[in-house]
Structure 1
């Protein structure tokens, strides 16, 4: 199935794309599937090209197919005042029905691992919040890292698949890699700033860790440099770029190690640079050094380095001179390296490390804006840039708004919002924004995500569990969606019935059971249909199927699915017609086992009952003949009178036209034998 062109959506042009091979539907119709582009369509009118001549001539109509499809088919619009006559487009040729749906990247085989494994973390988070409603930051941090590890595992699987895929599939997988990388990058930053708040509000070490994790290029380059020939290492084209990149990531020790491999490392200039970098104060929370003391130390160090720069002690080497100007925060030098940085936030982390090492979290937003201004990217921000900026500004609603637009079908926004809600971050907004409900916001995303999963043939049970954790509207959504899951096989139907009963939705369990019973009946499996009808506790449907059994017996002379009829148990009370069927089966079985007396007793009780179907009277009366003529006396005089009375009542039945006299004769003979036998009794 091909995807329709996403570019056409964005440019408000007609969507084009091929459809899959047609599948035969009911009444000779052909159903064809089409898939909208992966991107969410927000505020854009979408045009879909339907490749069908009849649709073009007659017009089209559409209807919703639960849970996530739209059926489009030819339809001629008629006005109320028009004459009622056959459509000019009516013909004997087959008609195509097109099924449209948004493609869901979460349904890709590799990304389904993301769905399955993250569900376990989600449930753990709900249980944690239920059992420890007060302070559980460390547990939240652990769960957040589990989410990120799942994302990283999916990224690795996608990368492996890309190397083994053909070009067309590889492009699609690369798009997924881009989406997941953005998700993991934003999630990691949210974890640092919103979940794992460090002591003393010193945030820079964690921010540098984030940059190092997502920009490992320079660390890999350094490993490559050290792994090769160390002689004349500075001649390597990546040597100085790697040093600058590591410097901006705060990797001072690695920078010093690389500089020591320079062929001129024994010169006074290189030795001086090494001493300067070695003496550079770096704030470490674990040492317990007071911030004021660190600031004084760093100020003295900056004055000393600036004095050396002013004395032109580093001008003999342009690269060393640039490094020294960078570490003292020289504006002109920093402006010169801006164009070499991949992103503004990579530049931001380095700038803060050398100019504002004690930056507070609430100051990050302002510095981020300055960094964007310096790199002249204000009008070129991508969605990832906007989301990161919102996180640095601690604008949670803007963060949610940005990640909600990501084309991951709601996985990211639902899980991150849920995590922020349980961490208490969203609750703080309730004091700032009137009529804002963190609980409702969290539930809306989880609800939408659960509904998305309900549209998948094997992920619907996970979707149900997400809806279970939506206290306001979850159960209502389940009531609407659960009965609309396609009943592909009986195993799936049993799962649906089980899930409905687990949630006390017995009416849904009964309706689904009845639907499966109808399917089995249409396939000629009456026994199986009866089993589902009994589960549905639908009396009229059970009676209807019992009639089917009886009419089948009239045609063939045998009772189908006798094993089910033998084990009805208390289910036999579901309807009067089923009671009759069960008793007739019991009569039939006793007769086959040559227990004629027992069979006669049941037959007599049936004839005297009021539950015999009209069409079955002839069968019962004809079944009395061999018992009346048997060598063993099985009917008493009273039983015989009952039979004769029934014959008199039903003698006008067409089926008994040629048999009435035979029954009367057999009854008369049996009556004489019965009277003689009973007369001899004490």
Structure 2
């Protein structure tokens, strides 16, 4: 897309192939009357681009091309993405998902353990928590115990390590690097303050905060220090005293002492002596991070003694000289620099706030100079003192978020994180919420803040054009985002594209026996494909993953809906085997009924070969278990056809059993076992499982068996055939289509087939039109054949009823 004129608005340029015109051929291409049109997708950041005719300048004339020869680009619609995720973000989203799900499990396990310890509910109250850490009893337990906090800290370390690795990647976009750095710094300070290493957070926090400040904002500059020390008289360097002050603020006391010792060679003795004294005491200034302290009280006592000794020796060194009288002559101006160092070492609040470069540096120095007994609970008060003198730059969202965390203003911190990065706000909110630190804000949000941020992050993943790769990740975030998240999860699963409409033959392997077989009936059927393509294998694997997700989130109703929709699509595509498997998984008796009807129609319309090939695609478990289910129903009901009309078991026992036994009938015929075929015809007509519309077809099928030279039907069996024939006649009088419609289709195929062996091939030329009258005449043939067989059976005395 080109911009005309002086419009310098930055635009994103996409170079697509096949290109519409070669390099340098733009004007010639435009002169042909062509232009480019585009349409944006509602989600996913995708754009569709195609070449079209440029509208005519005259609205009354149609658009024309001066060169109508089509090119590849003229006949193509090109799809492109303008919101594709860079690889580092994909890496972050993928790896952090594992940490997120692990965190839910840790908290859920902790809740079960704690509830069990107080004897709450059955099995320790496990029913009040799910495997993803969602509360079933809101607010029952309060904040997690120390053991859980320690485990959460370990996971938070992994979050921080991931961000640390990503921000140091080479050749990464500068803007993306800044995002990783901001997220790293914020996650790090949150971990320090709210996920203490000991799980309790009752210890001193000054050293940890100082380490964080030194990592976030490295100072002082080592190169500058080397430059200062390399000069002949280091104290003449303009950055000499600022470097010492900054080193003291940042806790680098040994380098600061080294700089002060360089003054030992100063020509003015009072300066050299005072500098040596300050260097000595700065070197031995106690730090809480030293391993020699058994408990905090030992350190605090040592620091108090150090401060008292420092002040007394300083007073002795100065000899009681007051302000402005430490030095004389030309060196009198040096007193201000020395006084700054002294007040920093004494921890004077005003001097710290004056010398600190920003609020973070002041906070880092506070815990080692001003209040060495500073605990986490003291931070809000300390932050109010610091920010009153050194305000936080509100135009720097990372500073706002960090300061809010230090001030225990969780909502402000999370909202600032949200403006920086959706991933950051979602995962930080999840951690803080599990610590019971996020207050309810019903005035501004219908959902909890945690759920809000998780939903926003899930939406970011869904809006990405490659969101299908994140579909399972999205499930886990939505499933942990309260009721609204669960509602979105259902819609997300329903809208997943599962491309099963292929020329496949769907088979099912029998599920292994298990204690929960009854509860999981049909849901554990595995997918097996006969000679599948790679894409087909992927589609079936994807389907199984979707099923697993539905089971994990206890969304059986959604899985049934998905199975029903897919089964309908597969039936439309003629893939009855896979459709039957899905219908069985969905426990959809009506769908199974439709599939059975479709398969039966195949026999009526196309013949035995097509029917057998379709039945072979049905799950073997479905065909094998159907007779057993039928026998069970016959034993439990007075009328074997009196089944619940909408239950899966009724269709399973009747329609599927019929398909299986009719297949056996056709196989018996093809194998020459005509006596067994005759017995199967009688069984199908008398068991009540044959569809009434197919009775007439079965009767016509029996003509050849009735006319066989060998008597295949006993007189009793012949009477049963006659009874069914009379029932067809009687009912066809008022429901002709229901009882004779399939026979008409059957006769249309058999009467218009050139050879009885050429089944499944329709002959359109000179095709004979078959009517209901033809069907009735065929039924008369059946009556005649039955009468002949009855006479033969009775004369032979075989099973004579008289």
Q: TM-score, normalised by structure 2?
A: 0.60
Counterpart-to-counterpart distance in 2, 1:258 and 1:270: 9
Over 3 Å counting, the alpha-carbon distance change for 1:671 and 1:283 in structure 2 is closer
Alignment partner, residue 401 of structure 2:
387
1:452–1:463 CA contact under 8 A, matched in 2:
no
CA distance in 1, matches of 2:87, 2:366: 38
Secondary structure of 1:158's match? helix
Q: Which moved more, 1:381-390 or 1:343-352?
A: 343-352
- The whole-number CA distance in structure 1 between the counterparts of 2:97 and 2:336 is 49
Give per-residue Cα distances to partners, 1:485-519, cap 9 Å, x unaligned: 33352333333334434555432221111122133
Matched, 1:492 2:542: yes
Using the TM superposition, give the Cα deviation of residue 528 of structure 1 relative to its aligned residue in structure 2, in angstroms.
Answer: 0.9
Shift of 1:665: 6.1
The aligned counterpart of 2:581 is 531
Please give the per-residue CA displacement for 1:315-365, whole angstroms capped at 9, x wherever unaligned.
Answer: 898998464564356899868855xx4x43024322563344345656544
For residues 277-298 of structure 1, the C-alpha deviation after alignment (integer angstroms, 9 at most, x for no partner) is 1354556873524958855752
Report the Cα offset of residue 124 of structure 1. Answer: 0.6
**Cα distance change on mapping 1:619 and 1:269 into 2, 3 Å:** same
Alpha-carbon offset, residue 21 of structure 1: 7.0
1:443-454 alignment, distance < 5 Å: 443-446=451-454
Q: CA deviation at 1:381?
A: 4.2
**CA 1:679/1:294 → structure 2, altered by over 3 Å: closer, same or farther?**
closer
The within-5 A match list for 1:506-525 is 506-525=556-575
2:307 equivalent to 1:298: yes
Q: 1:258 to 1:579 in 2, by over 3 A?
A: farther
User: Partner of 1:486: helix, strand, or coil?
Assistant: coil
Unaligned runs of 5+ in 2: 1-7, 19-34, 50-61, 64-74, 115-140, 500-538, 627-647, 730-738, 748-773
Given that 2:327 and 2:335 are in contact with CA atoms closer than 8 Å, whether structure 1 keeps it comes out as no
**TM-score, normalized by length of structure 1?**
0.69
For residues 698 and 238 of structure 2, the distance between their equivalents in structure 1, rounded to whole angstroms, comes to 101
Q: How far is the alpha carbon of 1:382 from its aligned partner?
A: 0.8
Q: Distance in 1 between matches of 2:472 and 2:275?
A: 65
The answer as to 2:594 corresponding to 1:592 is no
**Range that drifts further, 450-459 or 560-569:** 450-459
Indicate the SS of the match to 1:108: helix
CA RMSD, 1 decimal: 5.4
- Indicate the residue corresponding to 2:651 in structure 1: 574
Q: Equivalents in 1 of 2:38, 2:149: separation in Å?
A: 58
Map 1:92-103 to 2 at 5 A: none
1:543 counterpart residue number: 593
Change (3 A) 1:220 1:214: farther
**Among candidates 672, 675, 678, match of residue 794 of structure 2:** 675
User: Which structure 2 residues correspond to residues 361-372 of structure 1 after superposition, within 5 A?
Assistant: 364-365=379-380, 367-368=382-383, 371-372=386-387
Cα distance in 1 for partners of 2:10, 2:584 equals 49
Cα deviation digits, residues 461-495 of structure 1 (max 9, x gap): 45544555566555545444433333352333333
Q: Is the alpha carbon distance of 1:264 and 1:139 closer, same or farther for their aligned partners in structure 2, counting shifts above 3 Å?
A: farther
Residue 728 (structure 2) pairs with residue 633 (structure 1): no
Structure 1 residues 104 and 636 mapped into 2: Cα distance closer, same or farther (>3 Å)?
Answer: farther
1:646 aligns with 2:765: no
Q: 1:196 to 1:618 in 2, by over 3 A?
A: closer
Partners of 1:269 and 1:636 lie apart in 2 by 128
**Are 1:277 and 2:278 matched, yes or no?**
no
Q: Which residue of 1 aligns with 2:345?
A: 327
Report the CA distance between 1:668 and its aligned residue: 5.2
Instruction: Give the greater-gyration-radius structure (CA).
Output: 2
Q: Is residue 482 of structure 1 aligned with residue 485 of structure 2?
A: no
Q: Distance in 1 between matches of 2:437 and 2:585?
A: 47
* CA shift digits 1:359-395 (9 cap, x unpaired): 56565445545545655x5555411111222223222
The residue number in structure 2 matching 1:121 is: 103
Q: 1:422 to 1:53 in 2, by over 3 A?
A: closer
Shift of 1:120: 0.9
**Cα distance between partner residues in 1 of 2:221 and 2:150:** 26
Tell me how far apart the structure 1 counterparts of residues 233 and 711 of structure 2 sit (CA, whole Å): 116
Query: How far apart, in 2, do the equivalents of 1:518 and 1:548 lie?
Result: 12
Partner of 1:605: 683
Equivalent pairs counted in the alignment come to: 601
Uncovered stretches (5+) of structure 1, i.e. residues with no partner: 1-12, 24-50, 74-87
Give, in whole Å, the separation in 1 of the partners of 2:157 and 2:239.
Answer: 31
Specify the alignment match of 2:180 in structure 1. Answer: 177
Corresponding residue to 2:618 among 560, 564, 575:
564
**1:251 maps to what in 2?**
252
Alignment of 1:364-513 (within 5 A): 364-365=379-380, 367-368=382-383, 371-372=386-387, 378=392, 381-409=395-423, 412-426=424-438, 440-446=448-454, 456-466=467-477, 469=480, 475-488=486-499, 489-513=539-563
Pairwise mapping of residues 130-209 of structure 1 onto structure 2 (< 5 A)? 130-132=112-114, 133=141, 137-159=145-167, 162-163=169-170, 165=171, 170-171=173-174, 173-191=176-194, 198-199=201-202, 202-209=204-211
Q: What is the rounded CA distance, in whole Å, between the counterparts of 1:670 and 1:457 in structure 2?
A: 65
Q: Secondary structure at the match of 2:702?
A: helix
Give, in whole Å, the separation in 1 of the partners of 2:173 and 2:298.
52
